[in-house]
Every structure is written in C-alpha cells, then in structure tokens.
C-alpha cells in the first residue's frame, strides 16, 4: 500500500490513526451496512441483533459496545447527513433571516450530498432509511426523539446567530420546532410515494412544504 506518497489531501488526524482505531472504524461501518442491508431485506422487526453481529462475525456483546441499542445502528446512516446539514447551517450568511437560513441549508445539504454520494453508503442509503423509518413504528419513535435533540441544537445555533439568549427568547426554539415539523411532514409525504423518487424528488417535496408554510398560517385560506 502506498504509504508514503500520499499528499495532504486527508486531514492529518486520520493519517496517524493507529491500527486499533482503524479496525474499530471498520467493524463499526461493517455493522452499520450489514444492519442496513438486513433491515431492508427482511424488515427491522424480523432482524435480530444476533444476526447483525453474526454477519460481521462479532459477538452480540460487541455489537452493544458500538451501539447502545438496535435503533441506533439503523439511524446511524442518517447521522452523517444531519451533521452535514448542521455544518451547512453554520455557514449561512447573516444576510439571510433565520427561516431562510434553515430552508436553504436543508436544500443545499440534500443537493451536496446527492452530488457527492457514493451510491452505496451515501444518500440513497439515507433515502431508503427514511422510507423504512416511516413504516416502522419503533424506528419512527426513536427517530423523532433524535429529531427533537437536533431541534435543540438548531435553536442554539439560531440564537447565537442572532445574538440572542436562548433561555429568554422563545423564537429560536419555536422556529426550530416549526422547522422540524415541516421537514417531518415532507419526509412523510415523500415516503408515501406519491412524488418523484430520489434526492430531487425529496428536495421538491421539501420546497413545496416550505412554500405552504406561510399560506398554512395565513388568516384566509381561500
């Protein structure tokens, strides 16, 4: 393996990663993708943790050292996408108002991810997972809880962005909750299958839901 001639395209941190750390990362990734495959093939409920562990040739106990429960390994696929969204939000210019910043961040994040994506571990996996979540009550519950944690983070980001104290001003938290609601509604609409598939379809659904936010709150619906 070309150990030396690698230029500094990679962050320095993972150059010096020991064998131990790399191995951990590999088994973690293997667990995630094995779980993903099993869940999609035979359903979440009909897949046991033992199966996932066996597919990667580790013990069940080791599985639970990587993921605190079965839901976590399923939702792990979305973690990257969420992080990317948050990173995007941090970089939105101050000229945008908060709602604009959230909307453009989510759309940009989807666009970037769909361009960057290695088709296997990337955005298609996330989309398949969203579908799976919507039809699996247990997963949906766990996902919704994660969403609310994300909303707290988003509220803090917005508050800092606008120079407000999040403990006093309710607007950041209200906005984050509204944003979460609109997104969830869009995910549900997309996964119910009446719209275009793939990232483009998802983006379109999200945009149309945001477009209806004003009208939905308007005094006159006619």
Partner DNA sequence: TGAGATTATGACAGTCGCTGACATTAGGCA
Partner DNA sequence: TGCCTAATGTCAGCGACTGTCATAATCTCA
Contact set with a second copy (CB under 8 A): 97-100, 137, 140-142, 144-145, 147-148, 162, 164, 167, 170-182, 184-185, 188-189, 194, 208-209, 212-221
Looking up tokens 């508050």, which residue turns up?
Answer: 159
Minimum distance from CB of 1 to DNA (Å)?
A: 15
Please state the separation of Cα 167 from the chain's center in Å: 26
60 binds DNA (CB under 7 A): yes
Q: Given the complex with DNA, which of 70 and 92 has the nearer CB atom?
A: 70
C-alpha gyration radius of the chain: 20
Which residues 6+ apart lie within 8 Å of 73 measured at CB? 31, 32, 35, 52, 63, 66, 67
70 binds DNA (CB under 7 A): yes
Instruction: Give the residue, chosen from 6, 29, 69, 216, that forms a contact with DNA under the rule CB under 7 A.
Output: 69
Cα angle 165, 168, 174 (rounded to 5 degrees) comes to 95
Site string for DNA, 3-32 (x = CB under 7 A): ---------------xxxx-xx--x-----
Residues 37-56, interacting with DNA (CB under 7 A): 47-50
Contacting positions for DNA (CB under 7 A): 18-21, 23-24, 27, 47-50, 57-62, 64-66, 68-71
């Amino acid at each position: 393996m070309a150990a030396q001639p690698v230029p500094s395209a990679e962050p320095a941190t993972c150059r010096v990663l020991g064998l131990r750390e790399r191995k951990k990362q590999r088994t973690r990734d293997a667990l995630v993708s094995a779980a993903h495959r099993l869940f999609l093939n035979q359903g979440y409920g009909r897949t046991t943790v033992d199966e996932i562990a066996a597919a990667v040739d580790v013990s069940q106990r080791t599985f639970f050292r990587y993921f605190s429960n079965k839901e976590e390994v399923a939702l792990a696929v979305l973690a990257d996408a969420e992080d990317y969204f948050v990173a995007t939000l941090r970089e939105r210019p101050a000229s945008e108002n908060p709602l604009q910043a959230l909307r453009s961040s989510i759309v940009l994040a989807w666009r970037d991810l769909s361009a960057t994506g290695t088709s296997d571990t990337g955005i298609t996996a996330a989309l398949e997972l969203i579908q799976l979540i919507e039809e699996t009550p247990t997963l949906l519950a766990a996902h919704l809880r994660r969403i609310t944690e994300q909303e707290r983070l988003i509220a803090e980001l917005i508050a800092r962005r606008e120079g407000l104290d999040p403990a006093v001003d309710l607007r950041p938290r209200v906005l984050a909750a509204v944003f979460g609601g609109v997104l969830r509604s869009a995910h549900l609409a997309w996964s119910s299958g009446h719209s275009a598939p793939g990232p483009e379809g998802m983006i379109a659904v999200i945009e149309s839901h945001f477009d209806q936010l004003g009208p939905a709150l308007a005094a006159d619906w006619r």
